[in-house]
A and B are shown apart, each in its own frame.
Chain A
C-alpha cells in the first residue's frame, strides 16, 4: 500500500497544461488551487466563482482530463464531491489521517499496531509514550515510520479497550526509572494479551444483555416467564 510509505508532497508539473485553459476553466482552477490541501466542494465552488452549473461541470471534466485536479473523498462528508489541485495531497482533516484509506477506517492496520504496542508495553512492564515509540521503532516490526502522536492515538485507544492503564509515576518500585508525575502505561491483564475484559455478574445472565429490559414486566407481553432468551439459556 503506497499509503504506508507516508504522505509526501508531489512535485509540481513544470510543463503546465494550464496554459491552454479557457477563462472559466482558469477561474475555477485557481479557486480549487487556492484551497491547497483542503480542497473544495462543488457547491462552494459554484458559489465562489458565480459560474453557472453546466459551465462548472464541463470545466471540471476538462481539468480532470488534463490531470490538473483530482477528486478526493472528504471523510467528514462522504456524499459530497470534493476536488483538489493535483499537486496537493489531501490533508488529515479530509482523509481522516493515517488511519483512513480510501475514506474508510483501516481497521486491519490499526489492529496490528494495537497488538504491537501492547506487546511492547507488556515487555517493558511500565512504559512512557517515548518508551513505547522507541521500542516499536527498534523492534523493526513495522516497515512504516510512525510519529509519536500516531503512537499516542493507538495507546489511547488501548486504554479505552481496557488493555492497558494510564497512570502517573510515583518514582518508586517499578516506576523507579520514570520521573515522578510523568504519564506512563501498564498492562492490565497479567495473562494473555488481547483477551476479553472479565464479564460482570449482570452481563452473564440474559437480563444483563437484554435490549428489552425496559419493556419487560412480570405480566406483560415481554415477561421473564415467556422470555425467549431465558429459554435458550436454559435449554441448550
Chain B
C-alpha cells in the first residue's frame, strides 16, 4: 500500500504515464526497457520518454549488468532501470528543503535550489539563464554571482554533481547479502531489493572528491550539445519536454566538461534529522543543552558517513566549546556552562555518551524516544488515557523482556501482576487490550496451561513501526486527496488581510505566542482563525514555515506547496510583504 500511495501523492494528472512506469518499477523491481513496455502496455516511445524524465528528476537510476545465460562467448550487457523510492518520496518535502536554504542563505541561493528541485538537474549555464529569465526588470544576474552562490551551496553539500548515468554493476558475491533474522519469503525479497538499490546507488555516486568538487564547467562555449545523449535536452520553462534520444549510452563517452548539478537530498535529510534532534533535546532539557548539541552536530557532521548513523564521532569538550562560541546563540556561553550542559546531556537518560573525556551524540536514543512519543501520542488521542498507559506499560515490558522471544509463562504472571499493580480496573483493561489488538497496535497470544487459558500481550516495535509508517503514508495520501478536492470545489477563501487581522486580534489576547522556550503555560487559543488559515495553506495562497515548535504564516511562494502535516498550532502573524 505504502509505495503506491506515495506515487499517487507525488503525481498529478499530467504524469499518468510516468506514474504507470514508476508503479511498474516499484512493484516489480528493476527491469529492462522491453519488460517495462510489456508490463505497462504503453508504447516504447512513451516508456522511453517517461524514463528520461524520471531519470532527469532523480526518481530512476539506470545501470548495466551482465546478461547471464546462453552459451555465447562474450557476455552481453543490458540496461536496467531502478526506481528510487526515497527520492520519489522527497518530492513532497521540497518546500521543507527550500525553507532550510532560506534560513541559511540568501535569495539567490534559494532560487538556485528551487530551480534544481523543479528541473531535477541543471548545468551552470542553465542556472544562469533561469536566474536571468525570472529577473525581467533591472540588472541581469552575472555568471559570477551565480557561480559564487552555487559554490556556497556545494561547499555546504546541499548541491552535488549528478551520479553516473549507467554504472556497471558486477554480480553480487555471497558476502554482499546482508544477514538478517527475518525468515519470511516476502521479507527476503524486500532485503534483496534494498541490497540492489544500495549497490546501484553506491556504484553510481561519484567519488567524494568529485561529488562536491567546485570545478565549474569550462563551457559556456556551447558544449552543451555534447550532453544530449547523457541527459534530456531542456529549455528553461519547458521542463517536461524531451528529445527522443536513446537512453542507453556508454558512460565513458560522457567525459565532457559540462557539469550537471542537482540537489543533494541526503544533506537535506541529514539537516532535518539534526534539527529534529535539537528540538527534542530543547523540549526535554533547555536552550543551553540545545545549543551545545547543535554545536556538536555542526562539528561532526562532515564525518557522518550515512544519514541514519547511530552515533556521532567523539568530540572533546574543547572542540565542542570552540564550536559553541562560533555560533550566534552560543557566543556568550562560558566554558563551565558548556561543561555543565554536557553533564546534563549525558546524565540518565543520556542523549550523549561519554567515553574517556570524549562526547558523542546518541542519535539512536534520541530518535527512538521521538518515535515512541509520536506513536504514543496517536494511542493517547485515538484510544484515550488508559489505553495510553497500558500501551506504555507493554512497551516498557517489551524492552525489559527479550523482544525476539515469546513471553514465557513466568513472564506472563509478572505481567498479570503488573496490571493489578498499576491501578487499573480489570474489565476496562481487557476491553482496551482487545481494541488495541484489533487495530494491530498489540500482539496477542494464547497460552494454555492445563485447563486454564492465558492471554499474553506485547508490543512488537518492529511490526508496529511498519504499521504506523503505513498509516502515515495513508494519512499523507488522504491529505493530498482532500487538498485536490477542496481546490476543485473552488470554495471562497478569506482574504489574507482578513486573516492577518484575525491573527493579530488573537495575539492581542494572547501575547505570548512567541518562542516556545519562553512560554510558561500552554495558551488556549482562538480556534476561529485556524480553519481559514488551514484552508489558505491548502490552497497555496500562503506558505507555512516552521520555526521551533511553532507555525508561522507568511505570504508568497512560487512553487505549489504540497500539504504539510500540521504540528502544534501557535500563531504568529507576519506582515503581508514577506
> Pick the contact of A198 from B377, B472, B478 — CB < 8 Å?
B377
CA distance A73 to B286 in the complex (A): 50
Q: Which residue of B lies closest to A126 (CB)?
A: B347
A125 to B285, CA, bound (A): 12
Nearest CB to that of A236 among chain B residues?
Answer: B531
Among the stretches B25-33, B323-331, B419-427, the one at the interface with A is B419-427
- B349: chain A residues within 8 A (beta carbon): 165, 167
Q: Does B205 contact A (CB under 8 A)?
A: no
In the complex, whether A21 has a CB less than 8 A from a CB of chain B is no
Q: Does B382 contact A (CB under 8 A)?
A: yes
Chain B nearest CB from A236 CB (Å) reads 3
State which of B385, B393, B534 has its C-beta within 8 Å of the C-beta of A234. B534
Residues of B contacting A218 in the complex (Cβ-Cβ under 8 angstroms): 8, 477, 481
Q: Determine whether B565 belongs to the interface, using a CB cutoff of 8 Å to chain A.
A: yes
Interface residue? A140 (CB, 8 A): no
Residue on B nearest A195 in the bound complex, by CB = B522
Chain A: which residue is nearest B472 at the CB level?
Answer: A202
Bound Cα distance A213, B441 (Å): 13
A190 touches B566 (CB 8 A): no
Is B374 an interface residue when CB atoms closer than 8 A count as contact? yes
Contact A157 B423, CB 8 Å, known A162-B392, A190-B286, A202-B374: yes
* Contact in complex: B381, A208 (CB < 8 Å): yes
Check if A234 sits within 8 Å of B531, measured CB to CB: yes
Contact B378 A175 (CB under 8 A): no
- Whether B343 sits at the interface, judged by CB under 8 Å, is yes
Chain B residues in 8 Å Cβ range of A196: 522
Binds B, one of A4-12, A50-58, A225-233: A225-233
Q: Is A192 an interface residue (CB 8 A)?
A: yes
The proximity string for A residues 171-192 relative to B, scoring 1 for CB distances below 8 Å and 0 otherwise, is 0111100000000000010111
A184-221 residues at the B interface, CB under 8 angstroms: 188, 190-192, 195-205, 207-211, 213-214, 216, 218
A192 in contact with B522 (CB, 8 Å): yes
Chain A residue nearest in CB terms to B343: A173
Which residues of chain B are near A175, meaning CB under 8 Å?
347-348
Contacts of B375 in A (CB 8 A): 200
Give Cα distance in the complex from A168 to B179, angstroms.
Answer: 34
Bound: A173/B285 CA distance, A = 14
- The reply to whether the CB of B471 lies closer than 8 angstroms to some CB of chain A is yes
Interface size band for B? 35 or more
B421 pairs with A192, CB closer than 8 A = no
The answer to whether the Cβ of B528 comes within 8 Å of any Cβ in the partner chain is: yes
B305 at the interface (CB under 8 A from A): no
Inter-chain contacts of B538 with A (CB < 8 A): 234
Interface centre among B376, B385, B423 (most CB of A within 10 A): B423
| Residue of B with least CB distance to A161 | B389
CA distance A207 to B528 in the complex (A): 21
- In the complex, A48 has a CB within 8 A of chain B: no
| Residues in chain A near residue B527, CB distance under 8 A | 236
| A170 interfacial by beta-carbon distance below 8 Å | yes
A224-B481 CB under 8 A given contacts A105-B423, A105-B425, A156-B422: yes
CB contacts (< 8 Å) of A201 on chain B: these are 374, 565-567
Query: Please, how many residues of chain A have a CB less than 8 angstroms from a CB on the other chain?
Result: 52
Q: For the complex, what is the distance from the CA of A213 to the CA of B439, rounded to whole Å? A: 10
CA distance A195 to B520 in the complex (A): 11
A128 within 8 A of B: no
Which single member of B347, B373, B485 contacts A225 (CB below 8 Å)? B485
Give Cα distance in the complex from A119 to B414, angstroms.
30
Instruction: Please report the C-alpha to C-alpha distance between residue A153 and residue B520 in the assembled complex, in whole angstroms.
Output: 30
- Asked if A160 contacts B393 (CB within 8 A), the reply is yes
* Cβ B377 vs Cβ A205 within 8 A: no
- With A192-B520, A200-B373 known as contacts, the answer to whether A207 contacts B478 (CB < 8 A) is yes
Measured in the bound complex, the distance between the Cα atoms of B389 and A168 in whole Å is 21
Chain A residues near B304: list those with CB within 8 A: none
A110 in the interface (beta carbon within 8 A):
yes
A50 CA to B363 CA, complexed, in Å: 68
Q: Are B423's CB and A197's CB within 8 A?
A: no
Closest A residue to B482 using CB positions: A224
Complex interface: chain A residues within 8 A of B565 (CB): 201-202, 204-205
Given known pairs A153-B422, A162-B376, A167-B349, the reply for A224 and B479 (CB within 8 Å) is yes
CB atoms of A191 and B471 under 8 A apart? no
Chain B residue at minimal CB-CB distance from A154: B423
Partner of B378, one of A160, A209, A214: A209
What are 21 A-to-B residue pairs whose CB atoms are below 8 Å? A105-B423, A160-B393, A160-B422, A173-B344, A174-B344, A199-B568, A201-B374, A201-B567, A203-B377, A203-B381, A203-B382, A204-B566, A204-B568, A204-B569, A205-B566, A207-B479, A216-B474, A224-B477, A224-B478, A233-B534, A236-B530
Top-9 shortest CB links A-B = A236-B531, A200-B377, A207-B475, A167-B348, A224-B478, A200-B374, A160-B389, A203-B381, A203-B377
Not counting A198-B283, A208-B378, a sample of 15 additional A-B residue pairs whose C-beta atoms are within 8 angstroms of each other reads: A161-B385, A161-B388, A175-B347, A175-B348, A197-B373, A202-B374, A202-B565, A205-B475, A207-B474, A208-B382, A209-B381, A218-B8, A224-B482, A225-B482, A236-B528
State the B residues within 8 Å of A (CB).
8, 283-286, 343-344, 347-349, 373-378, 380-382, 385, 388-389, 392-393, 421-423, 425-426, 439, 468, 471-472, 474-475, 477-479, 481-482, 485-486, 519-522, 527-528, 530-532, 534-535, 538, 565-569
